Chains A and B, each alone.
Chain A
Amino acid sequence: MTDAHPLIERYLTRLDAGLKDLPAAERSEVLGEIRNHIAEAAASGKPIDAVLSSLGSADDLARGYAIELLLNPPPAGQPAERRTGRFLKLAGLIAVGSLPTFIVVVVLGSIGVSFTAAGIVVFLAGILAAFGALPNYVTMDTAPWVAVLIGPAVAILGALALVLLVWYVKFTARLVRRVVPRLAPAGASR
């Protein structure tokens, strides 16, 4: 069997690592399929390194799978929690894609989360202060209505950043998907 070839094993190990976000059953089916592809191609007389280079790098292949499957989840009605999980995975995938996307996702994500949380806390603190429930070293002589007004404004800014993040992730995912087929023909079209 050609299966024991160290190059093939290295490729499949790398692919397996790249697929770690897929369900276990899906993942083993994908690995089996690619292993099979390599075996069939080798059996037809192609050298192993040609077979592997025509498959493209294991990382690119894994990303191709991850993007296809995350963008097109099973149609069955899913609870909101799982959809959120899927979005976070997609955001992660896009963040590690390149330095600019990493910066955008991290900046929008941290602004979104921190501003939203801070806005809510400030708003609540303002209400507490209005009832005199907060000591002076917390309010620092600020009138309660200032906090009550600033809180929602900051929270809205945070929410806006989160909306932008969602839009950006969806946009980039669509873009990446369009580019993926372009990687392919280099090996196949001649």
Chain B
Amino acid sequence: MSVTSPAIGEWTSQLRRGVLELCILQLLKRSASYGYEIVTMLESLGPLAAGENTVYPLLRRLKTEGLLETFMQESPAGPPRQYYRLTSDGRRRLTTLEKEWDAMVSAVERARRTGAGS
């Protein structure tokens, strides 16, 4: 387990929640995808792994917010899949979030260097 204390667990889960939205938008930037694939891709990202009971409701919310849209597509086996893709609003949101993220990461890096240098 990477979680060592309740305080760190809480901090990590809040951080993950915000980053998760960014990652879902990023995963869908290149091509559309469906729920199971999105969950599996997030799982392979290690610390970002979020349970299905977080990811599926989040996908619906991003759709209600108009950032994602869905369409049905046949699957080689089994029932047709519901695919998600970015809307133009979704693309705009992704650009904004990426900028915010970069700004945040570089601020953390600067703080670290300052701390290490003194």
Q: State the A residues within 8 Å of B (CB).
A: 1, 26, 29-30, 32-37, 39-41, 43, 54-56, 60-61, 64-65, 67-69, 72-75, 178, 180-190
A188 touches B43 (CB 8 A): yes
Q: A37-B35, A181-B17 are in contact. Are A56 and B53 (CB under 8 A)?
A: yes
Point out the residues of chain B lying under 8 angstroms from A186, CB to CB. Answer: 51
Main secondary structure of the interface of A (DSSP, over half): helix
B2 touching A72 by the CB < 8 A rule? no
> B101 interface residue, CB < 8 Å from A?
no
* Contact call A40/B36, Cβ cutoff below 8 A: yes
**Given A69-B61, A182-B9, does the pair A29, B82 have CB atoms closer than 8 Å?**
yes
- Smallest Cβ-Cβ distance to A72: which chain B residue: B61
A178 in contact with B60 (CB, 8 Å) = no
Residues of B near A32 (CB, < 8 A) are 79, 82
Would you mind naming 23 contact pairs between A and B with Cβ atoms under 8 Å apart?
A26-B60, A33-B56, A35-B79, A36-B36, A36-B78, A36-B81, A37-B56, A40-B78, A54-B52, A56-B51, A56-B52, A60-B53, A61-B52, A65-B60, A69-B64, A72-B61, A74-B64, A178-B13, A180-B53, A184-B52, A185-B50, A188-B52, A189-B1
Contact of B61 among A39, A60, A68 (CB under 8 A): A68
Given the known inter-chain contacts A75-B65, A187-B51, please indicate yes or no for A30 contacting B60, CB distance below 8 A. yes
> In the bound complex, what is the Cα–Cα distance between A175 and B72 (angstroms)?
34
Chain A, Cβ-Cβ closest to B70? A29
Q: Quick one: which of B33-52 are within 8 Å of A by CB?
A: 34-36, 39, 43, 47, 49-52
Taking a contact as CB atoms closer than 8 A, the residue among B1, B49, B57, B81 that contacts A65 in the complex is B57
Are B35 and A36 within 8 A (Cβ)?
Answer: yes
Are A34 and B56 interface neighbours, CB within 8 A? yes
CB of B4, distance to nearest CB on chain A (Å):
13
Residues of B within 8 A of A55 (CB): 51-53
Q: Is the CB of A184 within 8 A of B34?
A: no
Interface of B is mostly: helix
Cβ of B81 and Cβ of A64 under 8 Å apart? no
Interface size of B by Cβ–Cβ distance < 8 Å?
36
For the complex, what is the distance from the CA of A1 to the CA of B75, rounded to whole Å? 14
Which B54-77 residues sit within 8 Å CB-CB of chain A? 54, 56-58, 60-61, 64-66, 70, 77
Closest to B78 in A: A39
B91 at the interface (CB under 8 A from A): no
- The CA of A181 and the CA of B53, in the complex, are separated in Å by 8
B14 at the interface (CB under 8 A from A): yes
Nearest-neighbour CB distance to chain B for A174, whole angstroms, equals 11
Do residues A184 and B82 form an inter-chain contact, with CB atoms below 8 A?
no
In the complex, which residues of chain A have a beta carbon less than 8 angstroms from the beta carbon of B43?
A: 188
Bound CA–CA A33/B71 (angstroms)? 12
